[in-house]
Structure 1
Amino acid sequence: MSATTSSLPVAVGTVTSYAFWGDDGRALADFYAAALGWKATQEYPDENGVPTAFLVTDGTTTFVFYTARDFTAPDWPKDELPFHLDLAFDDVETAEQRLLGLGATKPAHQPGGDNWTVLMDPSGQPFCISARWQES
């Protein structure tokens, strides 16, 4: 029996957090907390008691940033990305300058034209910034 024709009740789930790996989870948590105006709320230790997971939230959405011992940043744009973040701001130019001041870098490759700007977070992973979407 396929999943679409199963007689089992449909399980409805919710996403509770989004997790990201990097070479320094604390640095990523601090960067994204500052970038979004959110708060770093909790940290979790590994089996040796060393904090390796750090939570950042606005009260409704939670990001978890992990310190991964063997993390290697993608060689973007050569490497495909399993996922990335798109962040929207009212003033994209001001946001870009602020993010660069927080430790982001701007790669030469910018495939978004006037639609979005690609930046690299402190771990070397790309994310995009753009203007907030306006409903028409």
Structure 2
Amino acid sequence: MTSTDTPSTPLAGKVICHALWAKDGRQLADFYAAALGTEVSDTFPDEHGTDVAHAFHVGTALYLFSASEDFTAPNWPEDPLPFHLDLAFDDARAAEERLLELGATKPAFQPGGTDWTVLLDPSGQPFCVHGAR
């Protein structure tokens, strides 16, 4: 193939797993599972048989939450975020109330105006709540 040739099918991947870390991976997995209307369905042990990762599926994507004793939540908004989740709900206001009941907190800094709300999950990591899209 020369530099002017193009392949007949472009090389394209797809996201199959979203992985997040926290001091308590199970707590975080339970939080996001409840937020997304499902339950934790899989656990993964370390070499000693201790469950250290917990997961569930939404559609074809796996959400995996791993425990790490060394985890430190980002100091947001001072520190840049390497990654965060944006969740959309038909009723964003009701979802925000439910997420706060599940253990999220709402920081004072809200850069989204009326477009989105930033919450902190139980591990202290920011995520955004949007209305239906």
* TM-score exceeds 0.5: yes
Q: Residue 37 of structure 1: SS of its match in structure 2? A: coil
Q: Identify the range of structure 1 (121-130 vs 32-41) with the bigger mean alpha-carbon deviation.
A: 32-41
Distance 1:103 1:50 in 2: 25
Length, aligned pairs only = 129
Distance 2:82 2:5 in 1: 33
1:15-49 Cα offsets, whole Å, 9 max, x none, are 21110011110000000000110221100011111
Moved over 6 A (4+): 6-9
2:81 corresponding residue in structure 1: 81
1:72-117 Cα offsets, whole Å, 9 max, x none, are 0000000100010000001011000000000000000001000000
AA paired with 1:24? D
AA paired with 1:50? T
1:132 corresponding residue in structure 2: 132
TM-score (norm: length of structure 1): 0.88
8 Å Cα contact 1:19-1:65 kept in structure 2? yes
Q: Structure 2: give runs of 5+ residues left out of the alignment.
A: none
Distance 1:78 1:61 in 2: 31
TM-score (norm: length of structure 2): 0.90
8 Å Cα contact 1:52-1:66 kept in structure 2? yes
8 Å Cα contact 1:119-1:127 kept in structure 2? yes
Aligned-pair RMSD on alpha carbons?
A: 1.7
8 Å Cα contact 1:22-1:66 kept in structure 2? yes
